[in-house]
Structure formats: structure tokens, C-alpha cells
Structure 1
Amino acid sequence: MSGRLSRYKWTLTLQEGILIFITMIWGGTFMVVHHAMTMSGPFFFVGVRFATATLLLLLFSWRTLGGFTRRELLAGFWIGIAIGCGYGLQTWGMQTISGSQSAFITALYVPLVPLLQWVFLGKMPGLMAWCGVALAFIGLLLVAGPESGGLTLSRGEIATLLSTLAIAAEIILIGASAGKVDIRRVTIVQLGVASLFSFLMMQPNGESVPAMSTWLWGSALGLGLASALIQVTMNWAQRSVSPTRATVIYAGEPVWAGVVGRIAGERLPGTALLGGALIVLGVLVSEFKLKRRAKSQPAVEK
């Protein structure tokens, strides 16, 4: 009996411990971005953030940048557009909603991935994926509009919900090119494209370069450093951490964002907290796979 139980024991590895620490940092960035939106437009902030990440990766990877292929440039371009749309809309939404709300809604990208794979790749989601989507959708309704007590989506929540589609598309595009491209070269292209795309979106959004502020520029540069660190660390750690276990760890991101928001003074009502819990549960459930029992073969009479 003890032997059976030991198979379900989760022994924390160094890589998983580092991913947990990265997830804590990741969750804390929502509050920083939310505060930065009081001093800057969203696309300028995202542009500076990813320009910093691009320059940092260039600094440490310039020796490996020779020999770009057409596949790498195309993959990096489209992934970069998806990143720019995802982070741009998410940051735009945080002009009107709290960091905690943004984090819980953003977590919807995990159960959305199987749906997008079904629509674009014809890969039917499994039962647990559908259960995860249902739980996440109910959670979204509870998180939406907690201040008004209604179940309607505000403009900020709609923008954040749209950002999850872009983030899910990013994951699918990365998966489509996995093993066919050099990770370092593609990462630099996608971050550079995301930065350029964000700067180009400033004009349609009516943004201008904000006034010089030590806190604003420090936040943008600091998040750029964090983005580069997170990207490199995730690529390293997930060589030995399974996607399912990684998803369980990443599901803690909105939880950490809620903890940081609580410390900073955000007070979400109980309904919104329940909705956030359902979204996190939906994320976890969507990653579980039911094992099919092997069909017993009929006995052959001799």
C-alpha cells in the first residue's frame, strides 16, 4: 500500500522550485503594471518592457545569432505579433481593472488553448478540457464586474479576455515551431517584434511619450529584465519538467497576484474571489487526462 501511495508523492526538484519562484515574480508584476498605467499609456510601457528584454538577450546571445532561417524569422514574427497583442490588450485593460482581476482573467488562456486547437487544427478537446472550460467560464462570470455586483464585462475586462486569445495563440504558434527552430534566435525575434508592434500601436491608441519619471522607467526596465529572466528560466526548467506539472505551478500565478494585490490594498469581494478560485481550478482540470482502459480481447476458441 505504501508503495502505491509513494507513486503520487510530489518530490520538488530544483527546476520546479525555481519555476515556483518565477511564478511568484510573475504574479507580482500585475500590481506593478497596474500602478504604471496611472503614468503611462499601455503600448508605450509594453514597448519599453520588451525592448529592454530584447537588448538584454542580444547582449548575452549575440554569438549565436548567425544563420537565421526563413522559418525562424516567420515564426518569431507571428509569435511576436501574438505577444504584442496579448500584453498590449492586457496592459490596456489594467487602466480600469485591478491587477488581481487581470491575473485571474488572464489565466483563462490555459483552457482556451484546446478550444483554439479544435477550431484551427481540428483537434477535438477531451472531456477534462471541456470541464476546465466550463469551470473557467463560470469563474469569469463571477470575477466580472464585482464592483457593480453584476455579471457584465467592463471594457477593461473585455480587453483582458481578448488578450487571453492572443496568449493562447502564442502558445499554439510556439508549439507548431518547436523542435524546428533555434530557441534563442526565435525568442529574440519575437521579443523585438512585440516591442516594435507596441510602439507602432501608440498612435492608433492616441498615446504620446509620457513625462520622465524614475518610478515609471524603473518599472518598465525592471519588467523587461524580469521578462528576459522568466523566458530564459522557463526554457531551461521545462527541459526536465513535464508540461502538466509546469501548468500546475503556473496556475499559482493569479493566486500570487491576488496575494500581492491584497497586501497592496486591493479588496475583491467574496464572489470575485470564488470566481478566481474556479478559474484556477479550471486551469488545473483542463490539464488532467483521463486514462482509457484497454479493451479486453475476447478469448479465441481452439
Structure 2
Amino acid sequence: MSSFLSRYKFSIKIQEAVLMLITMLWGGTFLVVHHAMNVSGPFFFVGLRFATAALLLALVSWKILRGLRWQEFKAGAWIGIAIACGYGLQTWGMQTISSSKSAFITAMYVPLVPLLQWLFLGRMPGLMSWVGVVLAFTGLLLLAGPEGDSLAFSAGEIATLLSTLAIAAEIILISACAGKVDVRRVTIVQLAVASACAFIFMLPNGESVPAFSPYLLYSAVGLGIASAVIQVTMNWAQRSVSPTRATVIYAGEPVWAGIVGRIAGERLPGIALLGGALIVLGVIISELKLKRKKKAKSSASPEPLSENA
């Protein structure tokens, strides 16, 4: 065992540890969103959520907005559009399909990130990152436990499947502009753009502004604060964390969602617990780096011939 471990280097950056913590927070928001659908339409709730997040972050960082550059606005706008599409479509889909089926389809974003970063950024993921992604994806399938023997794609399921492309694009875009822009300015822009896009999406969806509800207000403010913290942390951490590794860490979201659900009275079957274990294993495996030993020069290797030979 010691000889096996000696071949690998296990290291967790502070940024990766922070991403794990916000993933816990991220997973804990599942029940809040689920119950909010009883008092609000999906796109209005998403718009209100991110409007609250943008406003709160702007209030504490308004001075830095004076230095907003066009590059930062453009980066924030693209990320905001991806966020609006991802959260909006996923929330819309949850109106008509079960949470387990939604989690199963959403899991597709895990293998999409390394594929998209390979296609658009030219960054080939390492072997251990690929192994970690495969394990996490397998775990997500088991954790979701799709109902029945087949997956019939309804409108809600197709919308959720499309949301995975937007989620993967968000992670790729954040990593592409990381280190080139001011994190706080870009985060405010992306939250504001995500909110505006979600409100615009209300029109084709035929949504109207719902009646006032204390739960809607509290959940929007609570998730707004959580969204601001999550987005700032993602932008900051992914300056030094690769998209593939970040994706595997984010794959822990349904694990924490399952834990919160259990506390709320839900019970996960054994196959789902196995899936959760595979996800955790995938995160650990992705942190292992294969050590490449430098080849020592052999003493028996022939010396180069001199010019006098």
C-alpha cells in the first residue's frame, strides 16, 4: 500500500477546499427551490433570486464598479447568459419531472466539461481527472436512480438536458476568463445579466408576477445571498483550479442535497448511498497526481566520441 501511495501526490489547495464547502451550501438549496415552485413560476424565481444576489453584492462593492472594463462586462454577460439558461431550464423542468430524474439528467454536465474544455480551450484533462469524472458520473447515475427501466424524454426532461450544456458552459467560461478580470466586478455583472435574462424568459413562458408570499421573499433573499457567495467563490477559486477538477468537486452537490433531504425526512435507498460513495471517491481520485520519475542517466551509457577519435 505504501509503495502504491508513493507513486502519487495527494494535494488539496485551499481553493479546492473552499469549493467543497460552497458545494455543501449549493446542495442545501435544493429543498428551498423545490418548495418555491409552489408559490412562483420558475423564471420569475430565478430572476428574483439573482436580482437579490446582484443587489446585495453591488451594495458592498459599489466603489469597484467605477473601474468596470469592457472585457469584464463582456465576460460577465456571457457567464450571466449561461447561468440564466442553466438555472432557468433546470427549474422549469422540475415542474414536470421528479427530482431524481432531474438529478439524473443534470449529471450529464459532469462529462461535458472536460469534453468542452478540450474542444474550445485545447486543454486535455489528465488521466486521474478523467477517472475521477467517470467515477463521479457513475455515482450520480446511481444516486439519481431513474424511475423505471427507460428514460422517456418529455419536454421537462429535454429542458433539463439542455440546461446541462449551459452549466458546463458556465464552468468553462469562468475558467477561461479567470485571472484576466476583476472577480467582484464580473460577478456583479453576471448576476445582473442572469436576472435580466430570466425575467425576459418569463414572456415566452407565459409567466406573470406571483402574489406576495413570505416564503417567496425569504427564499429569494436567502438564495440571493447564497448565490452571491457561490458565484464570487467560483470565480475566485477557478483562477487556480482546473475546470475538470472543479466539476468533480461540484459533483458532490447531490450528496449534500441528499443529506439535507434525509434531515427533512427523505430516505435514500442503498443504491443511492453507493452512488454517493462513488462521487466522494471520484473527488479523491481527481486529487491524485501521478508522479513521473525522472529517468536517471545510466552509468553504462556510452560517452560521446571526441573530435580526436
TM-score (norm. length: structure 2): 0.78
Partner deviation per Cα, 1:111-161 (whole Å, 9 max, x = no partner): 43211112223333333343344434544544556333x242554454334
Q: Secondary structure at the match of 1:180?
A: coil
Q: Runs of 5+ in structure 2 lacking a partner? A: 305-309
Partner deviation per Cα, 1:156-204 (whole Å, 9 max, x = no partner): 4543343232122112111221222121211111111100110111122
Stretch moving more, 190-199 or 242-251? 242-251
Report the Cα distance in structure 2 between the residues aligned to 1:276 and 1:80, rounded to whole angstroms: 30
**Equivalences for residues 144-155 of structure 1 within 5 A:** 146-148=146-148, 150-152=149-151, 155=154
- Name 2:303's counterpart in structure 1: 301
Give yes or no for contact 2:251–2:279 (8 Å, CA) kept in 1: no
- Name 1:212's counterpart in structure 2: 212
**Equivalences for residues 146-225 of structure 1 within 5 A:** 146-148=146-148, 150-152=149-151, 155=154, 156-225=156-225
In structure 2, what residue type is equivalent to 1:259? I
**Equivalences for residues 229-244 of structure 1 within 5 A:** 229-233=229-233, 238=237
Give yes or no for contact 1:104–1:276 (8 Å, CA) kept in 2: no
- Name 2:55's counterpart in structure 1: 55
TM-score (norm. length: structure 1): 0.80
In structure 2, what residue type is equivalent to 1:222? G
In structure 1, what residue type is equivalent to 2:181? V
Report the Cα distance in structure 2 between the residues aligned to 1:118 and 1:276, rounded to whole angstroms: 27
Give yes or no for contact 2:136–2:248 (8 Å, CA) kept in 1: no
User: CA 1:80–1:235 in structure 2 vs 1: closer, same or farther (change >3 Å)?
Assistant: closer
Report the Cα distance in structure 2 between the residues aligned to 1:295 and 1:164, rounded to whole angstroms: 43
Give yes or no for contact 1:105–1:160 (8 Å, CA) kept in 2: yes
In structure 1, what residue type is equivalent to 2:215? W
Q: Secondary structure at the match of 2:39?
A: coil
Is residue 65 of structure 1 aligned with residue 65 of structure 2? yes
Stretch moving more, 85-94 or 151-160? 151-160
> What is the deviation of 1:75?
0.7
Stretch moving more, 137-146 or 204-213? 137-146
Report the Cα distance in structure 2 between the residues aligned to 1:292 and 1:157, rounded to whole angstroms: 44
* Superposed CA RMSD: 3.6
Give yes or no for contact 2:138–2:275 (8 Å, CA) kept in 1: yes
Is residue 90 of structure 1 aligned with residue 90 of structure 2? yes
- Name 2:255's counterpart in structure 1: 255
Report the Cα distance in structure 2 between the residues aligned to 1:169 and 1:294, rounded to whole angstroms: 37
Report the Cα distance in structure 1 between the residues aligned to 2:43 and 2:211, rounded to whole angstroms: 15
Partner deviation per Cα, 1:224-259 (whole Å, 9 max, x = no partner): 1121133345556x4998669877765543221101
Q: Secondary structure at the match of 2:191?
A: helix
> What is the deviation of 1:51?
0.3
Partner deviation per Cα, 1:199-232 (whole Å, 9 max, x = no partner): 1111222222122211122111210112113334
Give yes or no for contact 2:84–2:198 (8 Å, CA) kept in 1: yes
Report the Cα distance in structure 1 between the residues aligned to 2:80 and 2:282, rounded to whole angstroms: 27
- Name 1:120's counterpart in structure 2: 120
In structure 1, what residue type is equivalent to 2:178? A
- Name 2:38's counterpart in structure 1: 38
Is residue 80 of structure 1 aligned with residue 84 of structure 2? no
- Name 1:28's counterpart in structure 2: 28
Report the Cα distance in structure 2 between the residues aligned to 1:104 and 1:266, rounded to whole angstroms: 18
Q: Secondary structure at the match of 1:66?
A: helix
User: CA 1:248–1:128 in structure 2 vs 1: closer, same or farther (change >3 Å)?
Assistant: closer
> What is the deviation of 1:78?
0.6
Is residue 265 of structure 1 aligned with residue 290 of structure 2? no
In structure 2, what residue type is equivalent to 1:177? C
User: CA 1:258–1:141 in structure 2 vs 1: closer, same or farther (change >3 Å)?
Assistant: closer
Report the Cα distance in structure 1 between the residues aligned to 2:197 and 2:97, rounded to whole angstroms: 24
